[in-house]
Amino acid sequence: MLHTRGIRLHAVTAGEPDNPLILLLHGTFGGWFDFVDVITSLAERGFYVAALDMRGYGMSDKPLPRSGNEMLIAVGDVKGAITTLGHTRAVLAGVDTGGAVAWVAAAMHPEIVSGLVSISAAHPADLREAMSARPWDFVPMLGRVTLARVPSRILQRFSRTRRRLYRDNLAINTTGAFQHSGRFNRVLELRRTAAAIDNAFIHSVHNSRLLTPPIASFGRPGARRAPVTAPVLLLHPPQSLWDRLVARQRRRARGEVRELSIPEAKNLPHIENPGGFVDAVARFAGRA
């Protein structure tokens, strides 16, 4: 349990604490357990690894969401977690909203980010612009962003719809082969179980809003254009919708940028092909 910023954040760690830190950040529909198959392997490669339950998830505290800048709160939690783990810098590896938070953290606080692993994710400003330019490429995402703006107390009433939403999200982000495996159902049930803890669902709705937060969420004027100076590893499937989004990401990144698709995986390579994910991240983090 990491006591930071007035709350407790739960993290699962492995490796020697003096080794370089890799902080793993899950997305709206997941939790620390999404990285369960890569934590030990990354630690064996010489890293101190921490998979974080974000605010409102798992065993982390679940204070009622308060009005204010949710992105800045999430970035502050990441910054606090790094310090509480005894480090001043970390490689941030984030997927979905965890990736959005990692991008903003790297842009706003370059001093704490030694490397950025973007797992099918983007800086919110880049994603917003890409969706505006070619909305037909992001129909599922547009639907999700719209749904996330509905008051959580209303969404909470539709338990059957929520269960289907968790299945649909896992299916759209994984390959057909994975969907027909036993692991698909195990991951799905674990995600559904975690979402049912206390008031975690309310936090998942607010977490989903981190994909495209208001422009003011990036802090000072002009911050949404802030560059990322740390080395960046872009992990995403070979789909055309990524071409233009990656072009925006490359314009934002001022350091080295590597782009890679993990075989036999779609948007969740740490779940579908953990061995391939570990190899890619370990090679990158060893130089970050």
pLDDT, tens only, 128-148 = 888 888 888 888 777 777 766
Alpha-carbon distance of 161 to 163, in angstroms, equals: 5
Contact (CB, 8 A) for 104 and 220: no
Give which of 102, 27, 72 is closest to 216, Cα–Cα.
72
Instruction: Provide the 8-state DSSP code for 12.
Output: E
Report the range of poorest mean pLDDT among 56-65, 86-95, 180-189, 268-277. 56-65
pLDDT-derived band of residue 69, with 50, 70 and 90 as boundaries?
confident
pTM over 0.85: yes
Q: Got the DSSP string for 229-279?
A: -S-EEEE--S-THHHHHHHHHHHHB-S-EEEE--TT-SS-HHHH-HHHHHH
Q: How many helices (H) and strands (E) does the chain have?
A: 13, 9
Amino acid of residue 259: E
Spell out the domains of the chain, with CATH numbers in brackets.
2-285 (3.40.50.1820)
pLDDT, tens only, 149-192 = 766 666 666 566 778 889 999 999 999 999 999 999 999 999 99
- The residues pairing with 170 across neighbouring beta strands, listed in sequence order, are none
pLDDT, tens only, 245-283 = 999 999 999 999 999 999 999 999 999 999 999 999 999
Q: Residue 150's pLDDT is what?
A: 64
pLDDT, tens only, 214-246 = 766 666 656 778 899 999 999 999 988 888 899
CB-based burial label for 180 (10 Å; 0-12, 13-18, 19+): exposed
